[in-house]
Structure 1
């Protein structure tokens, strides 16, 4: 029995020696994807992930693409990145990525600072929106008059630059992809506390070819990703208007269905964005007012001056809903697309549901003039009447005193609205 155990142990050792070094030691490269504004959720996720993988990670790479920070927890993450429990690099990539405001602090404080060619960095001030921050505690000072620990070029405090080569105090090396980073850093020495460690992030395969060791990719879960959609000012504003518009649609459809669920969901997501972003409340109110003007004209089934004012109000509201360029803002074309989408919704979806609810299957309506019906609601001056078993929107041009249950006579037809008078 003892001899069999020894043979099994020796066989295991032989198999282990035949495997690549990465497989022997269970070493990994961990890539943490951090995109969008830095809110509490993404900061907590990044901190937790760094601490969780540190014991088995040969190198942690934070793949950064963030225009701003909107959390007072930024300093906690910055301090962890500056003094990590495992070798760590911050890479602003791929080429379309940006690092503004608080994201620059993560890059500047990292032991290994990397960026992809074509990425944009800068616009350091403000560091974060929301709670006041003590800029002197960060690795890159937001005040160009202070002594900068990283000696960052002064024009980066307000301006942005496209990365083409290393930037003093901010970008040490430029690499277009993760594979290039692994090849460049393999075998280099990094300082980890009081220890100097050599990065071994490749291993020989069976053909004696060096290949990267196993990479693990980490990103927030579905719920966090869904909530963080509304950290884009344009998306948060769009969700707000869509939620209110669909709520109006559901009201005219006279029932609780899928539209009601969509309205609740989009308003909830918009609410999360509004709670995190530096919102201009006057612009938010302007957008809601514009939607109200649309509804005001929609009640009359025709385009009037109120609709034009509503379009302007929603566009201005979209542009200034969050206006902290270049970190957080809505482009003019995004604002135009939002307003266009709402206008088309009212033009087609709202009109269709109202016609389905308030019209008859008869194509011509002139035959209704002179007919009598019953007021389903008071017509003061607008209401609903029933004619030949069909429900119609109706109004009266004078103070007729028509109450629910009264007999009415059709005086005229304007679109899908009946002009009614009290029956004599």
Structure 2
């Protein structure tokens, strides 16, 4: 290990001083600051972006002395590892964290269910839902019995621990959400004690939270939100970009764009721009697919589709392989995006398949046209040209072609000076000709 610099020691001493102050302040009951609450908004699967977003916002709330962090959440779920990371952030936070499942129609599913359980305050908008937290395998596949049993037991124990403070009905719902994929509406969740409030919007939630007491790391904190100010905490530029690519439609577009760009670069090397764009698009697509827990078998079908598209340019199938490529692309994309947390984006997939097929069909047409086009350079370009006889062909003589005199040999008799002949071939520097009509 390298030695700490004086700057690192100073920073370490400063943080130690803050820790001491935090411990001393915890010796008496805490009262939340009445100034602000930090408001976060997250839509989409649980990804590393949510972990970093929440961690940064909690630190900001602690630095600002905010009353709470309110996470407006709409998620279909995510991996158990990321879920555990979020839950640990919530449990160790010194600032109360409120998870508000909103807007109407939002869902806290799968991992989102246990994240909501872990919050100091849980709230839902009317028309939202929570639950269906049964574990599934990659791509939504059913897990083997032994592995599924272990995961169900672990998640059930976690869910029970997180809801124990909410009563027996909440614990029973938590158990059924994991074991039987049970879900509940906002009204049902409130009746079971799973959540604390049903709020129409953020203002309604803050009004209901006023005077509400929670326990944070063993200390009671009472909210005073009658005149509180909200501080919107947006996703960072990079966080926003990476969160956007977890949208299945955007991931599909990036994947298709990346493959097309790389193929273009390989067919026309030297520019590098298409190759760079293709690599970046593919890396972003793979990040999104990884966050979505995509079924990677589908990627094989998509690669097969592009192979068929390319072969159709080379082989004289006149579009048959392109049709096979379209079918392979659609099937592969359907498998790829058949994840446990998102719906397959069929409109985007079909549109991309048709667009890619049209592009390669255009390439096939150009290739066929090039094969049929008369050569314009080399010896082949002379075949079919008409030349004037300058020295009688008996059968060997000279002809005038393209401003040059050529030695020529006629294969069907003789040709006098001034006659015209047609070039049929070439042997070295001698043209083979025949009488021209």
TM-score range, shorter chain: 0.5 to 0.7
1:333 correspondence with 2:333: no
The 8 Å contact of residues 49 and 242 in structure 2, kept in 1 or not, is answered as no
Residue aligning to 2:83: 74
Residue aligning to 1:373: 377
The alpha-carbon deviation at position 243 of structure 1 amounts to: 0.6
The alpha-carbon deviation at position 234 of structure 1 amounts to: 4.1
TM-score, length of structure 1 as denominator length: 0.67
Of Structure 1 and Structure 2, the greater helix share is in 2
**1:5-154, aligned counterparts within 5 Å?**
27-54=35-62, 56-70=65-79, 72-82=81-91, 84-126=93-135, 134-136=154-156, 138-139=158-159, 150-152=171-173, 154=176
Residue aligning to 1:403: none
Counterpart secondary structure, 1:57: coil
The alpha-carbon deviation at position 46 of structure 1 amounts to: 1.1
**1:311-390, aligned counterparts within 5 Å?**
311-325=326-340, 327-347=341-361, 369=374, 373-374=377-378
1:173 correspondence with 2:197: yes
Counterpart-to-counterpart distance in 2, 1:120 and 1:319: 26
Alpha-carbon RMSD: 3.8
Counterpart-to-counterpart distance in 1, 2:224 and 2:138: 39
Give the aligned length.
Answer: 334
Question: CA distance change for structure 1 residues 302 and 163 in 2, over 3 Å: closer, same or farther?
Answer: farther
- The unaligned stretches of length 5 or more in structure 2 are 1-32, 140-146, 163-167, 384-423, 428-437
The 8 Å contact of residues 69 and 127 in structure 1, kept in 2 or not, is answered as no
2:212 to 175, 185, 188: 188
Question: CA distance change for structure 1 residues 422 and 108 in 2, over 3 Å: closer, same or farther?
Answer: farther
TM-score, length of structure 2 as denominator length: 0.65
Counterpart-to-counterpart distance in 2, 1:268 and 1:372: 43
The alpha-carbon deviation at position 128 of structure 1 amounts to: 8.8
Counterpart-to-counterpart distance in 2, 1:128 and 1:63: 27
Q: Which has the larger radius of gyration?
A: 2
Counterpart secondary structure, 1:150: helix
Residue aligning to 2:221: 197
The 8 Å contact of residues 248 and 344 in structure 2, kept in 1 or not, is answered as yes
Question: CA distance change for structure 1 residues 159 and 261 in 2, over 3 Å: closer, same or farther?
Answer: farther
Counterpart-to-counterpart distance in 2, 1:422 and 1:274: 58
